[in-house]
Chains A and B, each alone.
Chain A
């Protein structure tokens, strides 16, 4: 580590840097950019072997680690280095398409929108309509399903059923499970099932989990927590129905005060 007084020019404008640095303590400026304690500087021009546009000057007294090769970076700050090269990559790869540093939420939403538009061109079906029917198909099923003896085996069976995408069997299993296991920890399990539904991107299963929680729990905070997760999931999928769940969340808060049902 080297110490530098305020106002020292570390990399002169127009030169190709032969090193990059990590600020242990202090501030450094490059044109209008300020690098603070815990930042790397000069990585991009060092890697690209390109001359810098501005001087890199110490703005305060600085303690700086200078590196001439990336293998000199100590283990404890390698993660920060990867973050730095990732930041540079994200700028370079997204600038031509959006003319700014990317915001992940905007990028995800853009992909979801493109995917939905593409689907509409290919299929005339309506996702929400299908969801509606899937939600109520349990009224029409009579599948015979074996219920395991203990709750742990039951949970395993439910998870396997989810992966098989067998919605009707899954519902019968849950209904029979409700009848058999009264004192088990259903709430954690339903949250787990909800998360799994998100992983496999099954909106109907996620919605069932919301219903299940509403049936089981008399704690409005727990029900609202899963409603919130459901709306975030819908919103991530670009579906406007997320607003309905946001409204339910607000209604619940309006009608039930202090978490107690009135």
Chain B
């Protein structure tokens, strides 16, 4: 499966990305670990993290046939005048923040189970139902996924970690 990094981490990008279709993993780093902190799905905005420091501190990777478009900062700012966009964006932020907040106390395994459940529940909107093994290997976080497979919470099907129903 094709895995592509979107230009954001440590970079100045004149715009934010709108994920038109598919799935995007938001990865964060500390000295001790790398973590998939959030799984974005269709209709999400990526790269909002850059507005505070001027550069992005979240690393985004899109999977498979996902599609996105870059909305320039100028256009993004004008979009706020639109009532419909504003109310949809508020709702998006509410879900985004609440989900992150609810994950803040979870351990690695709980967070991954949450991500995989989310992808499975949104499977009607995307062809990607889980997280590719190749990506997990690249991030060197395979141990956590393998433990979940061993504990029968997750299946590894055709190179993809998918939640067990």
The reply on A211 being an interface residue by CB < 8 A is no
Q: Across the A-B interface, how many residue pairs have beta carbons closer than 8 Å?
A: 113
If over half of A's interface residues share one DSSP class (helix, strand or loop), that class is named, otherwise mixed; here it is helix
- Cβ-defined contact, A93 with B37, below 8 A: yes
The number of chain A residues with a CB under 8 A from chain B is 38
B 62-89 binary contact with A (CB < 8 Å = 1; else 0): 0000000000000011101111011101
Q: Which of B100-108, B127-135, B146-154 lines the interface with chain A?
A: B100-108
Name the one of B37, B53, B80 contacting A96, with C-beta atoms under 8 angstroms: B37
A48, B55: Cα distance in complex, Å: 25
The number of chain B residues with a CB under 8 A from chain A is 46
The reply on B90 being an interface residue by CB < 8 A is yes
17 A-B pairs besides A89-B96, A92-B101 with CB distance below 8 A are: A47-B90, A47-B93, A47-B97, A69-B86, A69-B90, A70-B89, A71-B86, A82-B76, A83-B51, A88-B97, A96-B106, A97-B37, A104-B53, A107-B29, A108-B10, A110-B29, A111-B59
- Cβ-defined contact, B28 with A97, below 8 A: yes
Min CB distance A105 to B, Å, is 10
- Cβ-defined contact, A49 with B94, below 8 A: yes
A92, B104: Cα distance in complex, Å: 7
- Cβ-defined contact, B26 with A82, below 8 A: no
- Cβ-defined contact, B48 with A85, below 8 A: yes
A63, B28: Cα distance in complex, Å: 39
Name the one of A49, A75, A82 contacting B48, with C-beta atoms under 8 angstroms: A82
Min CB distance B83 to A, Å, is 5
A86, B10: Cα distance in complex, Å: 15
The reply on B98 being an interface residue by CB < 8 A is yes
Name the one of A48, A83, A118 contacting B52, with C-beta atoms under 8 angstroms: A83
> A: which residues have CB within 8 A of B?
44, 47-49, 69-71, 73, 75, 78-79, 81-83, 85-90, 92-98, 102, 104, 106-111, 113-114, 118
Name the one of B35, B78, B105 contacting A97, with C-beta atoms under 8 angstroms: B35
B 48-62 binary contact with A (CB < 8 Å = 1; else 0): 111111010111000
Min CB distance A35 to B, Å, is 16
- Cβ-defined contact, A89 with B49, below 8 A: yes
- Cβ-defined contact, A93 with B26, below 8 A: yes
The reply on B6 being an interface residue by CB < 8 A is no
Known: A47-B90, A78-B77, A92-B101. A104 touches B57 (CB 8 A): yes
- Cβ-defined contact, B34 with A86, below 8 A: no
